[in-house]
């Protein structure tokens, strides 16, 4: 008589036994694969394949949000010595606390700092933000500005972006300074007042204007909404813009805020026109 043998019970290396023992592992693997975390990760990988991340300056494909090493090397950071008010860089041989512009007439704002000299990769970064409506550019800009902001903006009550006229917002679809300000607000945990400061009239582009013409162009162009007056009064404000050229726009905004009773205004921008060379 041939003895029947139940292979599934006696053999440890037979297919039935291995399949039975593998079931918990397979189930666990499937749970992991289809978990929200892994699904999100796989979706991100798929998006990166179809829409690869690109350098915000030269548009070369990169593995991260931001800019490539080559473009990073072409950023010129503004470092001390600099004017203690407007942040204009000095020659290393200068021994002054204030630049000639601030000596001839103190600005309305209390302090301004800019991270980069406007040119090279900094210019491309600003243009990418302005004309591509690239929110990842705004977040990257806010991230690299953050250490500078933390250094000078102590005990700030509100963040306010420099406003555009409504016709320009309508045409462009967004305010680039507000995009940066939103990310800084999120990073710092400081409330942002998007519509408190408004641009009353449409002003010509400042690009080709002289310093005096710029000042005249934006004089009285900004005001604080009456509904925001109580919040602005005695408040310490962090004013955010993308580029500082002569300071006329920042100054005009600061004047409107100070007239409403703002206690202190610290202005920050990504880039500033300087004589520095890369």
Question: Does residue 59 have a pLDDT over 90?
Answer: no
Structure tokens that stand for 153 in this block: 């903006």
- With residues binned 3-state (H G I as helix, E B as strand, rest as coil), the percentages for the chain, rounded to 5, are 45, 15, 40
Q: What are the CA-CA distances from residue 176 to residues 137, 141, 143, 250 (Å)?
A: 10, 11, 15, 15
pLDDT 10s digits, 101-135: 899 999 999 999 999 999 999 999 998 888 777 67
Q: What are the CA-CA distances from residue 234 to residues 81, 95, 156, 265 (Å)?
A: 31, 34, 11, 11
Which has the closest alpha carbon to 249: 165, 151, 152? 165
Structure pTM? Answer: 0.79
pLDDT for residue 2? 44
Which residues have C-beta within 8 Å of that of residue 198, sequence separation ≥ 6? Answer: 163, 222, 223, 224, 225
pLDDT band at 149 (very low <50, low <70, confident <90, very high): very high
CA distance 130 to 133: 6
Q: Tell me what the mean pLDDT of segment 69-73 comes to.
A: 94
Give the chain's domains with CATH numbers: 10-50 (no CATH), 77-272 (3.40.50)
pLDDT for residue 37? 60
pLDDT band at 52 (very low <50, low <70, confident <90, very high): confident
Which residues have C-beta within 8 Å of that of residue 223, sequence separation ≥ 6? Answer: 197, 198, 200, 256
Mean pLDDT (the chain, rounded): 83
CA distance 8 to 155: 72
pLDDT band at 220 (very low <50, low <70, confident <90, very high): confident
For the chain, count helices (H), then strands (E). 12, 6
3-class DSSP assignment, residue 271: strand
The H-or-E segment that residue 272 falls in is strand 264-272
């Amino acid at each position: 008589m041939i003895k029947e043998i139940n292979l599934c019970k006696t053999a440890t290396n037979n297919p039935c036994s291995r399949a039975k023992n593998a079931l918990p592992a397979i189930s666990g693997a499937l749970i992991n694969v289809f978990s929200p975390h892994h699904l999100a990760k796989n979706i991100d990988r798929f998006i990166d394949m179809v829409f690869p991340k690109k350098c915000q300056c030269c548009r070369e494909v990169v593995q991260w949000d931001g800019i490539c090493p080559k473009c990073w090397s072409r950023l010129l950071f503004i470092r001390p010595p600099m004017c203690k008010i407007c942040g204009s860089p000095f020659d290393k041989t200068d021994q002054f606390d204030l630049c000639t512009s601030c000596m001839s007439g103190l600005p309305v704002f209390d302090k301004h700092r800019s991270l980069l000299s406007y040119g090279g990769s900094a210019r491309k970064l600003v243009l990418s933000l302005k004309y591509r409506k690239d929110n990842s550019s705004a977040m990257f800009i806010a991230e690299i500005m953050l250490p500078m902001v933390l250094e000078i903006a102590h005990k700030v009550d509100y963040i306010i972006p420099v406003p555009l006229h409504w016709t320009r917002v309508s045409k462009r679809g967004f305010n680039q300074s507000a995009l940066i300000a939103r990310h800084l607000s999120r990073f710092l945990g400081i409330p942002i007042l998007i519509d408190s400061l408004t641009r009353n009239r449409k002003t010509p582009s400042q690009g080709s204007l002289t310093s005096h013409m710029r000042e005249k162009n934006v004089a009285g162009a900004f005001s604080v909404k009456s509904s925001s007056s109580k919040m602005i009064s005695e408040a310490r404000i962090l004013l955010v813009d993308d580029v500082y050229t002569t300071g006329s726009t920042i100054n005009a905004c600061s004047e409107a805020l100070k007239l409403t009773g703002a206690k202190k205004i610290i202005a920050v921008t990504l880039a500033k026109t300087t004589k520095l060379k890369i």
